[in-house]
Amino acid sequence: DLWIAEGRAVASAPESPNPASFTPKIDESWIAEWEQVRAAIKNPACSILDVRADKEWTGADPIGTKRGGHIPSAVHLDWREAIDQATKRFKPTLVIQEMFARTGLSPEKEVITYCQGGIRAAHTAFVLWLAGYDHVRNYERSWSEWGNREDLPIECPQGAAK
């Protein structure tokens, strides 16, 4: 709908793309493991960003994990906040930068994003990168790992650790 509304070209006949090859490479600098996240809890040069829904953050909805809550020192911002819900497009860069700044994130610090399984966190890592944050990593195993490991610390916003 947006494509047509913007007057972009459309065709009714199928296209025949030219064959191409693609060799994917994993860029490890974008990935955080639980050990790095645990170390970031007390590291003032690092921020941890939980992008799950409010009920996941508070622990009211642990979504199939043994424990509910969030990673200590994490800040919370629902991943959907970066999207204009009317247009389904990213909000303007300045608005996104101000939103992250209000959350306490700084482009000078490393930011580790997490959610339940790394998908929403990957989206937010991309948004952070678009907003000028150069040191971003995604904890791809996210709460599905952290919430099921009883040896890792958690908090609830009310202050009652579980």
Catalytically active residues are 115
Q: Which residues contact 128 (CB under 8 A, 6 or more apart)?
A: 49, 100, 105, 111, 113, 136
Query: What are φ and ψ of residue 136, in 5° steps?
Result: -125, 135
CB within 8 Å of 39: residues ≥ 6 apart: 46
Distance from C-alpha of 155 to C-alpha of 132, rounded to nearest angstrom: 29
Neighbouring C-beta atoms of residue 139, cutoff 10 Å = 26
Return the amino acid letter for 27.
Answer: D
Contact criterion met (CB below 8 Å) for 161 and 70: no
